[in-house]
Structure 1
């Protein structure tokens, strides 16, 4: 992750609005969306969105060092736009939110693939089980935000696919009712905090 962020940010001119000291960035909860699709009996992908996501990291523009990366998803905030399905997916067959109310991602490394693209690898924890996951990342924009407190903001798009059975979530896999592959996408704006 440190390598990726340093590569992406070094390609941009920041001006005087960014300090040379380590700065903490937070994911803007109003502009962060985590959503997924999963196959339903081969007919179509079913969409799910997590409404409550938080995260932060520390970044030093002098050393290009990134640390303290921590993203948390409130599993109980899942919305699939169908009450009965929401109840099922939040239950023991899938997310088991009563016992595992949180999904976490902690980044461990990154690799640049272009001036504004790269991959980030980290540990994703679902149902209390952690697995390494690699996300494709695109830096959409890095600039002072035009509204409010005029904070410096990074706009990022991330995507990956996982096998839910790797986390012990096997309902409907063997009989093909629900796909094993889950396609995940994250759209976020990370704000530099003063």
Structure 2
């Protein structure tokens, strides 16, 4: 899909966007899945077609459909949402690589710890008014201080998947 994206500001359409996590637990026997209920963001496309922006997640809005687990994930053992209420991905560079792929480089910040992150997003829909991107990438939770691991139950990488729809902001 080749589409010329308008320059200017693009606002995340939170109602049409999702960011989810999944992680193996119980010695890789169970996959815990959760979705962030509060997602925000914006971006800006330059005349050369490159883009910058920020995606923000409310750390306390993660919902795994298990209240006790969700409270534990919000605690200091994991996201420490009381002290670090937001998870952010600051996009430093987004460039179209093929007709339907965008290379995104930025900085992921969780619990106040920032790490460089590069990923590929797939352009799934675009017109003059809206652009929708999908991506999936892995994160080593230990790099962000998420080290709680009772009896070795939680090892490995967490997978983040996102569908993000941006609407061209009126000038």
1:32 touches 1:53 (CA, 8 Å); kept in 2?
yes
Stretch moving more, 177-186 or 46-55: 177-186
**Does 2:77 align with 1:93?**
yes
Q: How many angstroms does 1:64 deviate by? A: 2.2
Q: Distance in 1 between matches of 2:81 and 2:3?
A: 41
For residues 42 and 4 of structure 2, the distance between their equivalents in structure 1, rounded to whole angstroms, comes to 23
Pick from 33, 51, 54 the counterpart of residue 18 of structure 2.
Answer: 33
Q: Show the counterpart of 2:162.
A: 186
Task: Report the secondary structure of 2:152's partner residue.
Answer: coil
Partner of 1:166: 143
Measure how far apart 1:65 and its partner are: 4.1
1:65–1:109 CA distance, 2 compared to 1 (3 A): closer
1:113 is displaced (CA, Å) by: 4.4
Aligned mates of 1:126, 1:117 — CA distance in 2 = 26
SS in 2 for 1:132: strand
**1:180 positional shift:** 3.4
Q: Which ranges in structure 1 are unaligned for 5 or more consecutive residues?
A: 1-7, 145-151
Contact 1:165/1:180 (8 A) holds in 2: no
Change in 2 beyond 3 A, CA 1:136/1:53: same
What are the superposed Cα offsets for residues 75-119 of structure 1, whole Å, 9 maximum, x if unpaired? Answer: 111101001100111111111101111001111234554211132
**TM-score normalised over the length of structure 2:** 0.91
DSSP-derived class of the 1:86 partner: helix
User: Which runs of no fewer than 5 residues in structure 2 stay unpaired?
Assistant: none
Alpha-carbon shift at residue 165 of structure 1 (Å) = 0.1
TM-score with structure 1 setting the length: 0.80
Q: What residue is the counterpart of 1:153 in the other structure?
A: 130
Residues 88, 110 of structure 2: 8 Å contact kept: yes
> Helix, strand or coil: the match of 1:178?
coil
Q: How many residues were matched structurally?
A: 169
Residue 66 of structure 1, CA deviation: 2.4
